[in-house]
Amino acid sequence: MSQSFDVIQPLDLAQLQPRPRVIDVREPAEFTGELGHIPGAELVPLATVESAAKDWSRDEPLVVACRSGARSAKAAATLVGMGFTKVTNLEGGTQGYGAAGLPVEAANASPPA
């Protein structure tokens, strides 16, 4: 079995419809910190990905993000190793997403209702 996953650019992610599930593997302080996070992203710190993902659908499209793309690549490899079939790593992470001029939810933003 291949241990590979796809890579997506921030602008391509922003245009995807329907929007895939976005998993942010940074730490909580980073998720709510100065870079903010991708709207709708779920916080699942890297150390908890394996346990959190046990109940997820293996066929659901997942985009994994972090600050720069390195930790999310590790998480993506872990998910592929667990049998997930539609895993994509966000190239450049949330830094690249924000640098592309795409909207992020800031630390002081209200959580979704």
Taken in order of first residue, the domains within the chain and their CATH numbers are 6-99 (3.40.250.10)
Model pLDDT for residues 29-60, shown as the tens digit of each residue: 999 998 999 999 999 999 999 999 999 999 99
The Cα-based distances of 79 to 6, 10, 17, 54 in angstroms read: 12, 20, 22, 10
CB 104 within 8 A of CB 21: no
Phi, psi of 103 (to 5 degrees): -70, 140
Give the pLDDT of residue 106: 80
Give the pLDDT of residue 2: 46
The rounded distance, in Å, linking the Cα atoms of 34 and 80 is 30
Give the pLDDT of residue 3: 58
